[in-house]
Structure formats: structure tokens, C-alpha cells
Structure 1
Amino acid sequence: MSVTRAAVRPAAVRRKVESWLAERDGSDAIVLHARPEWTDEPVLTVGDTPVRVVPCRTPLAARAALADRAGHEKLVLLTDLTDMELGDGLLTHVSMQKGRSVDPWDLVTQVFGGQVRLDSTLVRTGRWVADALTDLAPTQGWPPPAGLILTRDHALRHLAGAVLGLDPDALDGAGLLQWSTDAPNQLRFGDLPTEWSDGIATFLREVAGPVAVPVLAAVGAGHGVDAIPLGLLAGVLWPRAAESRPDLDLVVARTRLEPRFGGARLTESQAIAFGEATEAWIYRALDGDHAVRHDARRMLRRAEDIAAEIDVAGRLAASDLLPAGFTQRMRAFGESVRLAVPAAGAPVSPAGELIERAQDRLAEVETHRSAERSRVETARMAVRLLRWLATPEGPAPATMLDAVQRQVRDDGWVDRARLDIFVGDVDPQVAQAYRLLHAAVEARRARHDHQFAELLQDTTTAERDPGTLLRVEDVLDRVVRPIVDNGRRVLMLVLDGMGTAAAIEIAESLGRGGAWEELTPGGGPRVGVLAALPTVTQVNRCSLFSGRIAVGDRGAELRAFREQFPGGVLLHKSDLRTPAGLAVDPEVAAALGDPAVPLVAAVINTIDDALDRSDPGITEWSTDTVNGLRNLLVVAQDRVVVLVSDHGHVVDRGTEAVLRPADTSENRWRPATGEPGDGELLFKGSRVALGGGEVILPWREELRYGPRKAGYHGGAAPAEAAIPLLLFAAHDENAVPGWAGAPVSSPEWWREPLRQAAGETTSPEPAPTENRRPARRPARPPVQDEGLFDLPAPVAATAPPPSAPTSPQVPSSPAPADSAAALVAALLASPVYADRRGTRAPLPDERVAAMVATLVAGNGRATLETLATRAGIPVHRVTGTFTVLRRLLQVEGYPVLSLDPDGRTAKLDIALMVEQFGLAVP
């Protein structure tokens, strides 16, 4: 009697035939007990053997098939008849003289090598697994398991990997996301029998975690190729840092995303995991080759398109990756800047809480992966200027030396930042905020410029004794000659037109290389040099090389230099040009390497040339952008390098520039005909080298008399008249007697975030002084006897060193000073510290106290530069000192002190320090 048999799949028949042919029993036919149905090709080719498959519902049909078999073919009889119904006479003509069952699990063991036993959990998964493993098995079979048991995980991993086109070991969230980018593979998955695709999807959700749910839901809804863009939006709509229930708008936004997942509603954990996985995929792709980066950018654009389609584009600021998110963050930052800038004419500084908000918005801008470096750097400059505006202004400088040093140590940094703000931003909303900020900065800087110019006028007219103030005619005699007399050779680089802002950038680029150490008088702050008037090249460069006020061209400079240093070499632009293939002219290199040449001076015109031919306001000055500078430094490693200029410059103010007609071809000075106008002063005296010793100079930077250029010089603004002076030695901070390793040069508002203490208020600023008389000064100003080359006094543990900015600073932390002092005292008195201090690198207690107190006062955070400033550490030593301090505080390897990924911010875990050192602080 026949029995009901299951239909047999073509792959199952093929596998049974392969096994039969491998037996080589000499038979030409095989009986397979299965439903007698066959819709595939009637003849299979297995290896080189043609095999005909014939459904046989009756014994007669089976006999007919045997009788009709072609001699070159093998025969498969599919029948649901029992062996008894077929009869012994027929069975004698088939393999093994009996029919064979088509057990799907037997076929599974066959496709996995035939020597394995099935795990019961695999069998309980369902018949679909057996059929899928049989149908989809590679020609050579599936990889056998490591042991004798075929586990469910091993079987399904290889099955899912084959279906998805993935390595079986890559069945995780990242692998599924990669698969989602392959549309043909998704189509193949969708073409599988529903039971198979559902079963594989269930397994993927088990092994790939919550990411699998939204990916597979998107695939099922026909949006699989958008899985990564949808994940990016999930990261926006399910923020990881959410601390409260989502608002109604957010719930609605999430609902609008559901149709992309076939109506499925993602759980919080699924959505967050989905967002994190897609962000990780994008990060990896953006670091990949060109094609992969192109795919990543396409995904980002697609995510923004979907956001617009479902009306959630306004929330993209929450994304660290989407370009639209960067735009929104920049606009939020611009709004915070706009709110923090005092209203026009307001006599107060920006509110501290508003600056803190701008700092927070800046941090969000900085963390965005699509952030444009130049725009972020300008945003940093904007925050720095807000902090500068919040710094109490203090009294006007009493002497010319004070005014020059304010420009070098504080206002030069302002000039550097405001150049970026002046250039602005491409976004109109951000640009408007920068415009307001620039106006506020300009108002304060104008007061400083006016104060500087009035002191310069008084000093020049009254022929004041300069005291320790360096003037341009003093540089050779008071700076260069003592170095040469001490037996060291010098390379003096005169960077024509280099102002204090450009000098800051150049000094930073030199310091980054690590080959050169900056030196300052006594290891104190940088010093500046006062230019002669007017601040033009023919006056100041000739005066520099002459050692006295003089006017002349290149020939006069050469003659004056040879009188001062007969054995020296002076190089101008034409001398520095090189033939093909040579970075440094052989004669120049020979002079630099010659022990008999004590002084080589080189004039480099790159910055001054930019005033005519390019835009100095958008150039980042460095050893790479100043022509020839890097190469000269490479061949001058054994010389002390003195960097100086002949004058600074101001940049053109565009539509804000004021052209004042005058009977002169000069841009920033005119003969003393008529009375000085608004923004001008009359200068006369022995240091006025043109105009018969009497000229009118503008102190307002926006004034000019001649044709428009990119920048100008000649006037009395501190940006023109304060000359930077930098001195460097290669790995030798004792190269020059009286000079030592330089401290951090930047003011605190430049490097440290503003942290307002509770109840703290900012000091009001004085009203603008442009149109009022300067404050009265004594009949004879104080003698400028500040000790320019004196060594600094010893640094107290709790007081800032002499290198700290002289202007009052906004407190950088809400931590009470007595609490910080108590904690530091407890640390230094603890037995654990005493024990470690005896075995670790010798850091003086007062230096440890200064650095730890700074970190505690900053709630555990401070830049390395600030630590160096507070502890009196030369800037080139701060990294090494920090490493020693970290070893000292790392009890049993615990990370008490660490460095942020930015490489410049130290972080002290105060609670862990208290625990590790056993501190009992009230």
C-alpha cells in the first residue's frame, strides 16, 4: 500500500544521487521514496554523468522507465510506492535492491562532510533548516564543524553568511549594515521562501543583537538600502544623553520614521544601538579609500533627504556626522555669540553665563565630524575674544614700555583672533554675530590704540629716556652683540612687516617642531621693540642695521651693517634665491656654516610683500608660509636665532576703510601740514626720520591716505609700531646668558575656558575714550626702569609666576581657594605622597602644589599651558613635567591624572586622588 510522501526538492535529489554515484555499486538506477512529482529539468548532470529523474506513480511506470533508459544515462525513480508494491523483480534492477528514503537531516550530515552528528537543537529549529542547508550548500559542501557535533550555531552561521554574502564570523551589527549597502544581496534574501527568510532573520536577531531588528525591518519594508541613513536619523531622534521623557514633537518625529520599518516601533535600546552602529560604520568609511568615502557621503546626503521628507530636518543638530547638523550647530553657536556680545555702547563686559553658553556651543561644533577646520578655528577665536572682553581692562599703561608690552603679551593675541573674525563665516547668521563681536572688540582695541599713540607722541616729542625699553636702533647693540661677544654665532632673521600677531603664529610653528626652544629674558614674558617713525621700511630697517635712526635703501643697510659687524653677512631677497634643486644657496649655506662668520642676517620680505600682492589677513604665518624660513633654520642649527622685524602692519578694512585725502603718496603717514584730524596725532622729535622730523600719523587702523592695498604700515597703531622680538636656540636653553627657557606666552583668556563662580560678576569697563581727553599724567612720566633682563623672582606655590599676564584675569573656576589649598596641603603631608616622592622623579613640592592647586581650582581640568604658567615651568618642559607628575600621582596604576584626547588638557580625578592618598579634607 502506498503512503503519503513529502515532495522532494531538486537539491535533495541531487545530494542523494551524488552519494549513490560515490558508492560505485555498478547499478544504473536508484529508487527514492518521495512524492512522485518533478517540475525541474528531467535530466540532471552530476559530475559528468547524466541522470534522468522519472516520477513513478505505479509499478508499471517504474518498469517502463527502466525499460526505456538510455544506455548513457543513470535513472532516478521517484515513487511513493513501498518496496513490496514495487516487487522484487523490479528491485533487482536498482541500487541495493531496495528503495531509499530522502531524509532531509541525512542530507544535512552529507553536506557537512558525512561524519557528524546532529545537535538536537538544530533539528528542533525546523525542517526548513534542513531544506535550506541542502538547497544552498556550496558545491564542495559546507565547512565541517570543529568537533563531531553539528551545532545549531555552526549550521545557521554558515547558512546566514551564505545568504547575506558575509563571512560567518561577521554576523554582527556592522556586518548587517555592510550587507544593507548591497541591493542585489537584499533582493536574493527577499526571494527566499518566507519560512527560510523568517528563520534566518530570527537567528540574526539572536547573534547580531538589537541592530538586527531595525535593519531587517527596513529590508522587509523595502527600505533596506536606506538602513544606514535611517540609523543616522535614529541616532538623532533617540539621543543617548536624554535624561527625560521625549517631548511631543520628538514622539511625532519618531512616528514619522516608522513606515520605513514597515510600521515597526523601535525600542529605546534598539534605536540607540542602531544609531551607534551606523555612526561607527560612517566613521570607518570616512577613513577608508576614495570609493568607500564616496559611499559614506552618499549615505549622509540620503539621511538628510529622508529627514526633509519626514519633516525632522530641524533636529539634525543632534548628529555628530550629518553636514546639516554642523550647519545648525554653527548657527546655534553664532546665536550664543550674538547674545554674549554687549549691546553697542554698553559700558559692561559680557555676562559670564552667556560666555559659558558660547563655550558649550563651541564644544558641540568642535566634536562634529563634518566640521570645517577653518570655520571651527574662527569659532574658537570668537570665544577667546568674548573671554578677553570679559577680562577687566585695568588702568591705561603708564609708560611706553608698558604699552609695548601690552601689545606683545595681550593685544597681539587679540589682533591674531580678530583677523579671523574679520574674515568671518560663510553662513549669514554666524557672520552677523561675528560682525557684532568684531565691533565690540574694535571699540576696546581703539581705546588701547589711542592710549598707545598718545604715549608714543609724548615719548617722542619729549625725547623721553627709554630706560630698559628696546627700540629698533638698540637691537643689534643690546640683543645681538652680547650673544656674539659670549662666543655664540647668530642668525638674525628680519621678517619685513611681521607684527605681533604674525610673530605669535610663527613662534608656535617653530615650537611645534620640537627642534627649537624659545628663550626670553630671565625666562620671563616676551619683550617687544619700539619702531622709529613713521613705521616704514626705509626708516626702520636702516635704523635696525645702523644702530641709530637712519633712512636708506638696501645699499645703505649693507654699509651700516658692515660698520657694525665687519665679519658679518647680510642677505637680501636676491641673495636668498636658489637655483633648481637647491633649497638653500650654497654661498648662504657656507656663510651659515662658517665659524668665522659671527652674524648672518637675512631679510625675508614674504609678509611685507603680502601687503601688496595677497591678503595677510587670511594667511596663517608659519615656517612653511614664510618663504625660505624653514630651510634657513635647518642649516643654522648651531646658531642662536633672533627673529625680529622692522615694523608691523594693519590690514585693509574693506568697506569700513576710510580714505582721507592728503598731499602724499604714502598710505599711513603724511607731512605735518594742517592740523591732525580725528584718529590722527602729530609726532615730532629725533626719532621721526621723515617729514623734516615732524609728521602726522593715524592711530586708527582703518585710516589710509594712499591707494588701496591688502595691508599698510607707516602709522602709529601698536600693530605697526610694536615690533616682536623672538629668540630661539636648538635644544639649549642656556645658550644666552641672562636668557632662559620661555614660559607660556599666551594669556589665560586665550587658553582657559571661562568658569563663573556662583554670584560672581564681571567688572564694568570704562566708557569709550575715542572722543575724550586722555587722563592727566604727572608732568614727567615714570622712568621706564622695568628690569627687562632681570631674572624672575622665585615662584611661590600659590601665586602665578612673573610670566602670567599682568592684566587682571577673570577667575577660572568656582572652586574656593581655601578648599583647594587645604586639599593640596593634605596631599603634600600624606604618608603615601612622602613615600612616592622619595622613589619617583624629583619634582619640587612647590611645583606639585602649584599644578595640583590649579587643577583643583579648575574642577579637575586645566590646559598644560596653564599648568606651566602657574608652576613657572618653561613651555618646552611642560610635557615632561606633566609626565613626571602623572607618575607621582598614579598610585598602583590608578588614573588619578590623565591627558584628554586633545593632547593639551590635563584631567585630575580629585575623588580618586583623595581615596588613593588617604586624604582627610573637610
Structure 2
Amino acid sequence: MTATPTRSTAGPTPPGKPDIVRPDAVRRKVDAWLKEDDGTDAIALRAAPVWDSDAVIVVGRVRLQVVACPTPLAARAALHDRADDEKLVLLTDLPDAVLGDGLLAHLSRQSVRSVNAWELVRQMFGGVRLDPSLPTDRRWLPAALADHAPVDGWPTPPGTILTRDHALRCLTAELLGIERDQLDASGLLQWTTDAQAQQRFTDRVAADVADGITAYLRDVAGPIAEPVMAAVRAGHGVDVIPIGLLAEVLWPTPAGGTAGGPAGAAASGPAGVEVAVARTRLEPRFGTLRMTPVQAAALHDAADAWVARALDSDDELARQQGLRLVRRAEAIAADIELTSQLAASSLLPAGVTWRLRAFAAAVRAALPPPGAPAAGTVTTAGLGRAEAAFKRLSEHRAADQGRRTTAHMALRLLRWLSRPAGQPPRTLYAALQRQVTVDGWVDRARLDVFAGDVDPEVAEAYQALHRAVDARRARHDEQFAGLLAEATRADAEPGRMLRVEDVLDRVVAPILDAGRQALLLVMDGMGVAAATELAESLSRDGSWIELTQGGGPRAGVLAALPTVTEASRCSLLSGRLAVGGRQTEQTAFERRFTGGRLLHKRSLRAGAGAAIDPEVRAAIDDPTVPVVAAVVNTIDDSLGYGEPGSTVWGQDTVPAVRDLLAVARHRVVVIVSDHGHVVDRGPEAVTLPGGDGQNNRWRPVTSSTGDSAGDRLGDGEIVVTGRRVLLGGGTVVLPWREELRYGPRKAGYHGGATPAEAVIPLLMFTSGDEESVPGWQPAPVASPDWWREPVSSGAPTKAGTGGGRSGTGGRRAGKGGQSAKPVQTEQLFDVPADPQQPPPVAAPPAVTPADADRALIDRLLASERYAQRRNPRTPLDDDRVAALLRVLLAGNGRAGLETLAAQAGVPAHRIQGTVTALRRLLQVEGYPVLTIDADGQTVLLDRTLLVEQFDLGES
């Protein structure tokens, strides 16, 4: 059988003059010759007759003299002068015929042997075959593999063939000093953080080799390879990640654009010029490379991901490195004068500043100028711009949570100001409930805005907003004070209104009558604003369920007057109007509830290691104690020299509540206060005469001269008289403006006639049993609609185009993103009908997004797959499913849990479970039709997936 000739694995010898041979190539060729042991003492290698290395080399134990031989005479001389203990290596570019047979007779194989670079490569990788895809037409690779071979040799390929990827991956990893499996975008960026590794690369690698390595990295690491390697070779490799963070700003991507298209162009106008100039200033850091939009987008994505991982790492060193690179990016932005454009960055902290300033500018623009006829109102357009600016701020990943929360509160106040003021309340009860359901939330937001921001531009906007809010709130305060004075003087029956002296009889006693035990927490000084925060804290994890009377809105309680502890708290705990201190309260409470326990501040203190005093715990655990009342002074104490305006009142800031509730799960918990408070207004505060030096927010009706204070009432004061005025002889002067006071300055005050002081919040909670108290049911969402994100179905859309990509909520505009032109239905002149033409067909009525949403929901509920997925044991009511989906679709595929609960009519504590049931219903084969955002509070609906999974026929 004839053997099939094997194909040579070595590449062809390059034509023309041979190259200068490298020392490693000579050593490897000589090593192979010595292993042949052909009995000769000299070998001639075809190469340029140039040798700049050591004249004598040692291969194994053999000494060899290397001689460059440009002529036959030089070759003969080298053979003649060879020492007996040495062998000879001749480097010549002469052909065999020129050397002659006499000289060739002394050489191995009687010829000049070729130094085939690829044959040497094959040997360096263990004698495997060469993949034809190796770039045999490029001379740099074999030489580079020879020059940069590691001491222990190149890793043998996994198979019997040396692939291009294996050879280049080994060489690249060796030159960069990183592991072979890290040759990707992330690994390349990690390498740029090592300045010494970059220096070694630039010092040891020739330009042609660097070009080849860059080309290979482009294949394995993507478009970022060229800018990374260009920056390294230009000496700016350590700035690659910071520059990558700036690429988002330097190569912006407009909405709907792509990095490789028009999106790569800078914005027009002055901002575009600034960005273009900044790019020019940045170019020297990349040598001769001009980065393309595709490369910039890839570099930004990789750098952004790298820094995000570093900042989220548990490794403190990694976090510090991430922060250092972020700071370096901002320093580079300053160097190239790009700082003012950093609002486009979604990661750099400076971007937060610029986005916050943009939001502040939108707030200022939304507010009417001072003194305008419509002062106190906000236009829809102005509110829309502020909503958009806040959305951009919220999308920034480095936004400080505290500053973002303040901005959110400012936006909520803008929404409130955009609503019509409405008719003034006609009764004190209506004014009291307005404080509980609306104005208390305004006060909560107002406190954050009052605390303000460190940036002067933002602070100015917040100050203007606060003034506008104050103007409306002051009108409400004046209305409340007038109704309070009138009702107090008339002393009529309260009707539905709860008074502080009625709480024990009308709230606590029914709990005991139902056979339940109660825990009454008296949060001294807690107003409605603080109560909203505390209630959220208690119900957040679902372990406590809030109850309201009839499942309606929260109720408020009217404090005794003046709104100070000795009058209002004593009346609360006595169950009747009374004035007194701790001992009076104790006696009256225990007389009202036989076996009941009232615990004041001293009684709540525990010894070392115990959160709750053992006697307190025993009283709460004791089934024979029907009601335990505890007075918690945390909020009232902060009014002295604390921070009542900037503290978020919850279980973390009032640990006594957290600890007491931890051991009182078998009791119904009623949380109430004795009065609210107002905070100090700083330079806006006004100190009035007439006080006794101790009472900051009330004064008697007569001055020291006996003149009637009623004749000298200042702006913001009112006289209140009647049976429920327990101090000052039954008649006092109370301020209804928050900035007024009569005594020394403190952090906060109480005693006056504002609803923030006189309206007491009332909360009731139970752990698990929704039927704990007859007539009380699970509470709805308490926040007003302007507190939550807006829900709108937008503008009309063309019939049949209600569908769209995920998150569009069916809002698809006409061509080019514009609304379709309105159909002209009237003509200027009457034109006779053409008998040859068919009668005109009336245009179909426009279909609104709400119509499209309803049609989609109807198809879903009627679909066969939906019927199959319904859980027959615990079905989610179709009406409830429809209500939830309507809210999500109207909100462009997203809605907060509170919004869902409020809009869909789900009790607040059930919304989590309801959403979970809806997810199970809609998640066909695990596809994420409905998900919860990372914030844990936002529900996301993928409309496209919904249509696909239930085959609803929408494109």
C-alpha cells in the first residue's frame, strides 16, 4: 500500500532577502540539529548575516560559536578557526551554489538550512500540527512567540492542533500579565488599573506586535480593545475606566438612537459645542485613535459595569478603588471643561448635582411668580416638566437617598399645589379630617423641604416652593382656627368627631368589650405628619395590619386646649376633661379600667441587657390586665433641642414602640397622642409679647396692665373660650400661624391652634386578626393620590394600535412619534356630491389608550389560557385582575404598590399577596410578565409578553 505523503506543517519561506534571525530561533534550530546527531560540527542557517548577541552560546552542554558570514571567504575562515571543543553556527544569505561544494561538505546536510519560524512555533508548543488559520503571512507572530516564550514554555494546546486562538491567547496573556481566561472586556479593564503591568507591556513590546495583539483583543474583547490599547500605548491606560464613565456624556445617545448612528453625534447648540471641544481635548490620551460612537458606547458599558461591581462589592479595597476612579473621571471632566454637561452621566456624583439643579429649575419655573393672581397654583405643563426632571434624578445610581427623598417631597408638594384649592370646610370635623387625610401629608413633605439642600441653587427653589405651600397652608390654618374657636365657644355635641377625652370610651372600651386586650401607646407630641411615618414603619413588613372604622379613612382626634401636655394628655388618660400631671393621670386611668396599667417614662426603663423592664413585660403578658397604656416621650423630648423636623419617626427612631410591639402581638394596639407640634422656623420666627416666659404657644387674655388681649390681637392670633379651654381661666389667645411664639426658642413647640398641634392622629393595629374589633376593618391606602406617582392614560391613539413594546402602555403615536393629524370634518364651501363616487365613509372614532387597555383586558379575561390558569381553590376575582391591570397599563407598565392598592381598591395590607397571586396567574411557563422592581415597591408589567403568552392578537 502506497503511503500518502504528509503535508508540511511549516509555512512557506518568505521570498526575497531573509530576515535577521533572532537568538531564540537560533537556539531552537541548533537544539533540533544537535538531537539529530548527524556527526557534523557546523550548521549554516539562511538568515541575514547579522549577529548582535553573544558570540558563543551554550545549548544543553554544547558550546557553539555563532558567526555572521556575508561572503564565502568569511565562512571558510570561520571553519578554519573553529576550536576543537566548539561547534559552529554560520549565518549567511548566500545560496549553496555561491558557497561551493567544498565548503558545503563541512556543513550539516551539505546545504544551508532554512530557519522556518513556524516550524519553531510548532516545536515550542510540543510538536503539534499547525491550524491553517494561523496568520502565516504575518511575520510578527512567530518571532513574538519566540522572543516572549515563558521560562517553562508555552502551554500545550488541548488537542493535537495549535489553533490561532490558543497561540494568540497565550502570547497576549503573557504580554499583558493576566490569566488567559480573563481576556475579555472586564479583564482588559481590570488590567488598566495596574500601571506597572501596562509599563512592562509598552517597554517590551514592539509596535508591530502591539498592533497584532490589539487586533486579536478586538476579536475576543470587542470594540473596547482599540481604545484601551491606544490609551495604554499613549501612556494614559490608567485613565481608561474614568474616561469610559465620561463616554456617556461625550458620545450621548438620544432616545431611540443607537451608538453607531446619529446617536453618536453630540447634541446641537452650546452644549453640543462644549461636548465637541471636550472630545478634542481628550484625543491626545488615545494617541492617534479617534474613538467611534460604537467604541465609546462599548467602553462606557464596560466601565460602568466594572465600577458598579466595585462599588457594590463587599471588599472595602474594591469599593475604594471604584470611588477613586469615579473621582478621577470627574477630575478629567474638569480638565477638559466638561463639568457642566455631567448631568448626562447616570453614575458620576457630579451628575446628581446637575440633575438636582435641573429639577430645582423645573420647580422654580412651575411656581407662579410672587404676587401673581393665581399664586399658590402650579400649571399642568410646569408639573410635567418637574416630573420628568425628577425621573431623571431618580434614575441616577449615585443619588444620595436623603437628597432624592427631599426632591420627591418637593415634587409631591408641587402636585398638591396643582390641585384646586376647593371650598373651605364648613365644620370643625371637616377641617380636622382634612388635616388627617391631606394636610398632615403636606406637613410631612413640607418638613423635608424646609430642611432643604446644601446646594444654593436647589435651596433657592425649595425656599420658593415652601413659601407657596405656606401660603395655602396658612389659609387652611386660619380656617381651622376660626372653626375651632367657634365650635369651642358653642360647645355643641361632637357628633362623629372624636375628642381627646372620648378616646377611652369610644376607641379603647369597644376593644375590651369584644373580649380582646389592648395596648394603648400615647406618643406625646406626635402630630399627623409623624404618625404617617410611624404607621408606614409598623405595617411595612405585613406583620401588623392597620384597622380603621368601617375600613374608611383614618380618623383624627381633637386635642384639649391649649394643646399642652398637662391639659390634653391628662384629659386623654382620664377619659374626661382634666388638668394634671403623672399622678393624676395614673389615678384616673386605673379608676377607669380596673386592673389596667399605665406606664410612664420611668416605668419603661429597663436595666442592663434588657430592652423591656420585666414588670412591663409581665403586665403585657398578663391576660388579667385588660389594657396597658404606655406614655412614650421620644417625640415630645425632641422638641427641646432635638431635630423633630428632620427625624423620620419610625421603629428605628422610637425603639420603645418597636420593643413594646414585639411582646404585644396578642393585643390590639391603639396609637394616639395628646397633641401635635410645629417646628421652629428659624429666621422666619416671630416672638410676640404677652407670654409668661414658659408657654411658647399660648397666652392669657389680659396683659399686665389689665387691657384685653382680644383688643390687641396680632396677625395670626385668635381668642378661644369655652369649657374645653382648660387653662387661662377658660379663655386664651392662641396663635394659628406656625412662626409665632411667646417664649424662648426651642426646636419645636405646641400649645397653639394650628391643626398640626390640635389634631391628634389615631392609629389601630392588630397582628393577624382582621376581625379584632367590631366595626373596624382593614384600612385602605392612607396617602392622598398626589403623594403617589401619577396614573394617566395619555393622549388618544389610532384604532388598532394599542399594543407596543414593553412599558409603553399601548401609547403608540403616529409616524415619526407624532400624533396623527385630526380629520377635517367640515368644508369652507358646500360641494355637490359626485354621483360616480361612493358616499364618504365616516372616520372611525379615535380610540384612547384607556379604550385599548380595556379591550386588551377583556380579551385576556375571555382567553382560554387565562381560564386554564385560574386557581379554582383560591381564584383571583376577575374584577380585581381587571382593576390591577388597568392601573398598570395606564402607568406605562409600572405602578407602586400603594398606587395599585389605592387605585384597584385593595386593602393596603393585602396588596403584596394580591400581586403575588397575579404574578402566578400571568407567569406562563416562567416568563416574567409581571415582576417586582429592585426597590421592592414597584410592580412592572411587560405588555408585549402578556400579549404573546396569552395569544391576545396584538402586534
TM-score normalised by L of structure 1: 0.86
Structure 2 residue aligned with 1:740, among 769, 777, 781? 777
My pick for the range that moved more, 7-16 or 681-690, is 7-16
1:805 counterpart residue number: none
Alignment of 1:97-496 (within 5 A): 102-114=115-127, 116-191=128-203, 192-241=205-254, 243=257, 246=266, 247=268, 249=273, 250-288=275-313, 289-348=315-374, 349-496=377-524
Whether the 8 Å contact between 1:161 and 1:171 is mirrored in structure 2 is yes
Matches of 2:39 and 2:756, distance apart in 1? 104
Instruction: Pick closer, same or farther for the CA change 1:33–1:636 going to 2, 3 Å.
Output: same
| 1:120 counterpart SS class | coil
Q: Which amino acid aligns with 1:158?
A: C
| 1:216-237 residue CA offsets vs partner (Å, 9 max, x unmatched) | 2222333222222222222212
Q: Which stretch of the first structure deviates more once superposed, 214-223 or 407-416?
A: 214-223
- Report SS of the residue matched to 1:509: helix
CA distance in 1, matches of 2:660, 2:391: 39
> 2:695 aligned with 1:666, yes or no?
yes
Residue 563 (str. 1) matches residue 563 (str. 2): no
Letter in 2 for 1:209: G
Once the two structures are superposed, residues 461-494 of structure 1 have per-residue CA deviations (whole angstroms, 9 ceiling, x without a partner) of: 1102111211111111211122122222222111
1:66 aligns to what SS in structure 2? coil
- Describe the superposition over 1:133-187 as per-residue Cα deviations: whole angstroms up to 9, x where unpaired: 1222222222222221111111101111111122223222222222222222222
Answer whether contact 1:234 1:275 (CA < 8 A) is retained. Answer: yes
> 1:725 aligns to what SS in structure 2?
strand
CA distance in 2, matches of 1:560, 1:85: 131
Q: Work out which structure has the larger RCO, using CA pairs closer than 8 Å and 6 or more positions apart in sequence.
A: 1
| In 2: Cα distance, 1:490 partner to 1:130 partner | 86
The amino acid that maps onto 2:213 is: I
Relative distance call for 1:88 and 1:413 in structure 2 (3 A) is same
Deviations along 1:339-385, whole A, 9 cap, x unmatched? 01122233432111111111111111111122111111000000000
Q: Secondary structure of the equivalent of 1:228?
A: helix
Counterparts of 1:123 and 1:857 in 2: how far apart (Å)?
A: 59
**What is the CA-CA distance between 1:822 and the residue it aligns to?**
5.7
Deviations 1:627-664 (A, max 9, x none): 32212221222222111111110000000011001141
Alignment partner of 1:599 is 2:632: no
Tell me the equivalent position of 1:808. none
1:61 and 2:61 aligned = no
Q: Do the aligned partners of residues 892 and 480 (structure 1) sit closer, same or farther apart at CA in structure 2, a change above 3 Å counting?
A: same
8 Å contact from structure 1 (residues 318, 325) kept in 2: yes
Measured at CA, do residues 181 and 613 of structure 1 come closer, stay the same or move farther in structure 2, by a change above 3 Å?
Answer: same
Distance in 2 between the 1:64 and 1:567 partners? 122
* CA distance in structure 2 between the aligned counterparts of 1:233 and 1:85, rounded to whole angstroms: 70
Distance 1:32 1:366, change over 3 A: farther
CA positional deviation for 1:708: 0.1
Checking the alignment, whether the CA contact within 8 Å between 1:815 and 1:858 is kept in structure 2 is no
Q: C-alpha separation between the residues in 2 aligned to 1:828 and 1:754? A: 23
How far residue 617 of structure 1 moved from its aligned partner, in angstroms, is: 0.7
1:221-263 deviation per Cα after TM superposition (whole angstroms, max 9, x unaligned): 3322222222222221211235566425144443333333224
For 1:877, the equivalent position in structure 2 comes to: 910
> Mind listing any 5+ residue stretches in structure 1 that lack a counterpart?
70-74, 760-813
Aligned partner letter, 1:753? P
- The alpha-carbon deviation at position 533 of structure 1 amounts to 0.5
Counterpart of 1:763 in structure 2 is none
Shift of 1:891: 5.5
Unaligned runs of 5+ in 2: 1-15, 70-74, 703-708, 797-846
SS at match of 2:764: strand
Q: For residues 499 and 51 of structure 1, what CA distance do their matches in structure 2 show? A: 97
Local SS of the residue matching 1:493? strand
Gap change, CA 1:340 and 1:86, over 3 Å in 2 = farther
2:635 partner letter: I
Q: 1:879 to 1:43 in 2, by over 3 A?
A: farther
Q: 1:875 to 1:46 in 2, by over 3 A?
A: farther
Distance 2:57 2:657 in 1: 79
Report the Cα offset of residue 304 of structure 1.
Answer: 2.4
User: Does the CA-based 8 Å contact 1:180-1:186 persist in structure 2?
Assistant: yes
2:67 maps to amino acid: P
1:827 deviates by: 4.9
Query: Could you tell me whether the CA contact under 8 Å between 1:744 and 1:875 is conserved in 2?
Result: yes
Q: Secondary structure at the match of 2:548?
A: strand
Displacement, 1:606?
0.8
Distance 2:954 2:246 in 1: 48
- Please state how far the C-alpha of 1:698 moved relative to its aligned partner: 0.7
Looking at structure 1, the residues matched to 574 and 123 of structure 2 have their Cα atoms a distance apart, in angstroms, of 99
Q: What are the within-5 Å matches in structure 2 for residues 503-518 of structure 1?
A: 503-518=531-546
Q: Distance in 1 between matches of 2:118 and 2:859?
A: 74
> How far did residue 625 of structure 1 move?
0.6
Aligned equivalents of 2:948, 2:143: Cα separation in 1 = 63
Q: CA deviation at 1:425?
A: 0.7
Quick one: distance in 1 between partners of 2:634 and 2:284?
A: 61
Work out whether residues 234 and 286 of structure 2, in 8 Å CA contact, stay in contact via their aligned partners in 1: yes
Aligned match for 1:903, one of 936, 939, 949: 936
Partner SS state of residue 432, structure 2: helix
* 842-851 or 447-456, larger mean C-alpha shift: 842-851
> Which shows bigger deviation, 218-227 or 748-757?
748-757
* 1:62–1:77 Cα contact (<8 Å) kept: no
CA shift for structure 1 position 104 = 2.3
Choose from 836, 850, 856 the match for 2:883: 850
- Report the residue type matching 2:611 in the other structure: A
Name the counterpart of 1:792: none
Alignment check: 8 A CA contact 2:795 2:849 kept: no
For the structure 1 residues 835 and 148, does the alpha-carbon distance in structure 2 shift closer, same or farther, using more than 3 Å as the test? closer
Cα deviation, residue 860, structure 1 = 4.1
Aligned-pair distance for 1:919? 6.3
Cα offset, 1:100, TM superposition: 6.9
**Contact 2:719–2:732, Cα closer than 8 Å, also in 1:** yes
Shift of 1:535: 0.7
Q: Give the 3-state SS of the residue equivalent to 2:781 in structure 1.
A: coil
Question: In the aligned structure 2, how far is the partner of 1:540 from the partner of 1:86?
Answer: 126
Paired amino acid for 1:218: A
Question: 1:670: how far off?
Answer: 0.7
1:436 deviation in Å?
0.5
Q: How many residues align?
A: 855
Per the TM alignment, residue 459 of structure 1 is displaced from its structure 2 partner at its CA by 1.3
Counting aligned pairs with the same residue, the percent is: 57
* Contact persistence 2:696–2:751 (CA under 8 A): yes
- 1:556: Cα distance to partner? 1.1
TM-score (norm 2): 0.84
Q: Label 1:346 to 1:831 Cα distance change in 2 as closer, same or farther (>3 A).
A: farther
- Give the RMSD, CA atoms, in angstroms: 3.1
**Pair 76,533 (structure 1): closer, same or farther in 2 beyond 3 Å:** farther
Deviations 1:812-862 (A, max 9, x none): xx9576665565555545555555447584122332333233334445443
Report the CA distance between 1:541 and its aligned residue: 1.3
Cα distance change, pair 816–34 in 1 and its aligned pair in 2 (3 A): closer
Provide the C-alpha distance between the structure 2 equivalents of 1:838 and 1:368, rounded to a whole number of angstroms: 41
Distance 1:475 1:692 in 2: 25
